[in-house]
Amino acid sequence: MERSWQRWLIRFGVFIVMAIICVPGLWIVMTAFRDNVEVMARPPVWIPERWTLDNFRAILGLSENQQGIPVVRYFLNSVVISVTSTVLAVLIGMMGGYAFARYRFKGKNVAFLWLMLSRTVPGISLSLPVFMIWSRVGLIDTDFGVILVYLALNIPFTIWLIDGFFRQIPLSLSEAAQVDGCTRWQAFWKIEFPLAKSGIASAGIFAFLTSWNEFALASQLTRTTASKTLPVGLMDFTAQFTVDWTGMCAMAVIIIVPALILTFIVQKHLIAGLTFGGVKG
Amino acid sequence: MAEVRLEKLVKSYGKVGVVHGIDLTIAHNEFVVLVGPSGCGKSTTLRMIAGLEEISGGTISIGDRVVNDLAPRERNISMVFQNYALYPHMTVKENLGFSLKIAKQDTATIEKRVAEAAEILGLTPLLERTPGELSGGQRQRVAMGRAIVRHPDVFLFDEPLSNLDAKLRGQMRVEIKKLHQKVKTTIVYVTHDQVEAMTLADRIVIMKDGHIEQVGTPAEVFEKPKNTFVASFIGSPPMNLLDATVATEAGRKIAKLNDGVTLALPAAAAEKVTDGQTVTIGFRAEAFSPVGYGLYGDNEVATIERTIILPEPLGTETLLYTELGGKEVQGKMLNPRFVKPGEQLTFNLDLSRLHVFDKASGMSVLV
């Protein structure tokens, strides 16, 4: 009796938590497909009465009565910045993670500690110094400037995660490969890399999602369509006295969908990466 | 021809020496076992031969090449690791063929050599499995198969059986021995298990603290241990070692044990000791048996009455724990009968099988 009572309590708790997490997201998606008038309706209309794509047409500049927002441009900026910073963060993470996992060198522990400590600093607290330095060297409103900042955010994490994966691979595998005729480089690519692949993939998806969703720093460092990313572009919907909620939500959907698709593709690796991270000392 | 020659081989990590200038020549097709307690430098020595560990001093040559600065892949060796080190993402077949693929052999050759190796080791039905789907003994065989497909000059084994249970270890030991008979190659084998060393080796190299203590055939190191370390390391149970003082009695050299028991020394040893010298007397359990339960032939024996502390029946023989010279010693009873703790038995100690070591240096007086 008591068992089932406890189980229902747990289920109820899970339901509440999931609702808190999911309902706003669901609300965004529904709002993206509803009429503007429904948004402000009181009492609120939960399920849209009429599903419409007008909001998407509007922000993409396909309807004549509203001025478009350069969504495509923002999208491209986001892709360039996220993909470049992810690829670089994973490459550097692989090199760094391998070095920390496999080599003994002076100051290794201190270096690792500093890398990890850098993650304890909230990124936003660095926005002012970064802004000042970037404006001096002319990196404000450039893709490169944003990429650089995202690399700094992501690299400690990718190194930490990938280091853990390489640590799990017995050293003797690479030694066996070397005895079997491989150079150290071949031993890495043919043996160690395939075995650490899921870790590297999960490091990649984490890095990508961080860059893709990041708002605070990007909003400081970007100014125009030259480098504005999608999350920053959301601010275009707020005017002095009004907020175009439906347009904003439509754009939010555009931001969510690629991240969602990517997450589904690498889901298997992601779970491996997460559970692994959980047991690692 | 692949003779392996180690000359003044040294390994140190910073100031900490691990291997202190060892010299060893391993003949073509010889099966040499490096044995010793953990930390004696045997694995390090093997890894230096493999090229996985840098050499701090001296030279290693394989055949007529000095290989000091060659990468592992250039030494034409193969190695079986303690944890097998099979590539988990490849099938057994791919594991076996990996080295040939790296060497860019054509597919037909790879197929043929893999099939050969699989045949020798009975792996043919397992070729499509991955290492995760194999038992410990099967993994061990795949690791050996991976080593033999390459037709290397030298096989290196790094404690290959220590991860197996006792029964499987016995089986694999036999398989390794058979493998050496089929695939004639120089083998260097590292183990901490003296039974493995005794059963497998053509020659045993006993190491301690980075030095070689003795090199010899299993019979030599068993029967003529150079020092007390070898005496106590080789053989099971370990040799009984008792402190004694040399004296002369009725014109013969005798050793007087701490509890007053005197033992006449064998002629060869007697010549090498002087009165008053403190020595360590060694004898194996099989030289110390109850009257009628040992093999003495016409050898001279010392007859000693003892109380049994503990009998340890092993089936075909019984180990008897008793006390001599103030220390616990082990005797052995062949074709045993039931023995109770506390029972009084008369033992014969075969004096011709006494070993005499100088106490201070630990070296056999015969050396």
Give the closest-approach CA distance of B87 to chain A in angstroms: 7
**B221 and B282 part of one domain:** no
User: B52 vs A178: CB contact, 8 Å cut-off?
Assistant: yes
Domain, as residue range, for B265: 240-358
**B107 and B216 part of one domain:** yes
Residue B214's φ and ψ, nearest 5 degrees, are -160, 145
B66 inside 8 A of chain A by CB: no
CA A183, A188, A191 angle in degrees (round to 5)?
105
* Count of pairs with CB atoms under 8 A, one residue in A, one in B: 56
Would you say residue A273 has pLDDT above 70? no
User: A176 vs B85: CB contact, 8 Å cut-off?
Assistant: yes
Would you say residue A90 has pLDDT above 50? yes
- Does residue B75 form part of some domain? yes
User: B150 vs A183: CB contact, 8 Å cut-off?
Assistant: no
Do A167 and B80 touch, CB atoms closer than 8 A? no
Residue ranges, chain B, pLDDT below 70 = 1
What is the average pLDDT value for chain A, to the nearest integer?
87
| B82, B89, B103 member nearest A181 (Cβ) | B103
Q: What is the pLDDT of residues A7-39, one digit of tens each?
A: 999 999 999 999 999 999 999 999 999 888 888
CA A163, A168, A170 angle in degrees (round to 5)?
115
**B213 and B248 part of one domain:** no
Distances from the Cα of B40 to the Cαs of B190, B201, B229, B234, in angstroms?
Answer: 11, 19, 12, 15
- Does residue B47 form part of some domain? yes
CATH number, domain A71-279: 1.10.3720.10
Task: List, as ranges, residues 168-227 from B with C-beta within 8 Å of A.
Answer: none
Instruction: Give the whole-number percent of chain B exceeding pLDDT 90.
Output: 66
Q: Per-residue pLDDT averaged across A108-112, rounded?
A: 92
Do B356 and B255 touch, CB atoms closer than 8 A? yes
Residue ranges per domain, chain A?
Answer: 2-59, 71-279
| B50, B83, B89 member nearest A195 (Cβ) | B89
User: A175 vs B81: CB contact, 8 Å cut-off?
Assistant: yes
User: B72 vs A175: CB contact, 8 Å cut-off?
Assistant: yes
Q: Which residues of A touch B72 (CB under 8 A)?
A: 175, 178-179
> Which residue is closest to B148 within chain A, CA to CA?
A180
Which of B150, B158, B178 has the alpha carbon at shortest distance from B77?
B150
Q: Which amino acid is at B242?
A: L
Question: Residue B129 sits in a domain of what CATH number?
Answer: 3.40.50.300
Q: Which amino acid is at A114?
A: W
**B39 and B168 part of one domain:** yes
**B185 and B248 part of one domain:** no
The ipTM assigned to this model is 0.82
- Choose the final residue of a domain: B171, B205, B233: B233
**B113 and B261 part of one domain:** no
**B52 and B187 part of one domain:** yes
- Choose the final residue of a domain: B190, B207, B233: B233
Would you say residue A79 has pLDDT above 50? yes
Q: What pLDDT does B233 receive?
A: 93
SS (H, E, C) A186-251: HHHHHHHHHHHHHHHHHHHHHHHHHHHHCCHHHHHHCCCCCCCCHHHHHHHHECCCCECHHHHHHH
Would you say residue A271 has pLDDT above 80? no
User: A179 vs B71: CB contact, 8 Å cut-off?
Assistant: no
Give the closest-approach CA distance of B143 to chain A in angstroms: 10
Q: Which two tokens stand for residue A181?
A: 């005729």
Give the residues across from B156 on adjacent strands: B79, B188
Non-local (6+) Cβ contacts of B254 within 8 A are B246, B247, B248, B262, B263, B264, B265
Q: What pLDDT does A270 receive?
A: 65
- Does residue B366 form part of some domain? no
Give the closest-approach CA distance of A94 to chain B in angstroms: 19
Give the closest-approach CA distance of B233 to chain A in angstroms: 29
Q: Is the peptide bond before B290 cis (omega within 30 degrees of 0)?
A: no
Lowest mean pLDDT among A206-210, A274-278, B7-11, B139-143: A274-278
Q: Which residues of B touch A186 (CB under 8 A)?
A: 102
From CA B179, how far away is CA A185, in angstroms rounded? 32
Q: Which residues of A touch B83 (CB under 8 A)?
A: 170, 172
pLDDT band with cut points at 50, 70 and 90 for residue A279? very low
Q: What is the pLDDT of residues A155-189, one digit of tens each?
A: 999 999 999 889 988 889 999 999 999 998 999 99
pLDDT band with cut points at 50, 70 and 90 for residue A104? confident
**B212 and B245 part of one domain:** no
| B50, B82, B87 member nearest A179 (Cβ) | B50
Q: Which residues of A touch B78 (CB under 8 A)?
A: 179-180
Question: Residue B340 sits in a domain of what CATH number?
Answer: 2.40.50.140
Do B9 and B58 touch, CB atoms closer than 8 A? yes
User: A178 vs B88: CB contact, 8 Å cut-off?
Assistant: no
DSSP reduced 3-state for B244: strand
Q: What is the largest CA-CA distance in chain B?
A: 80
User: A179 vs B77: CB contact, 8 Å cut-off?
Assistant: yes
Q: What pLDDT does B14 receive?
A: 86
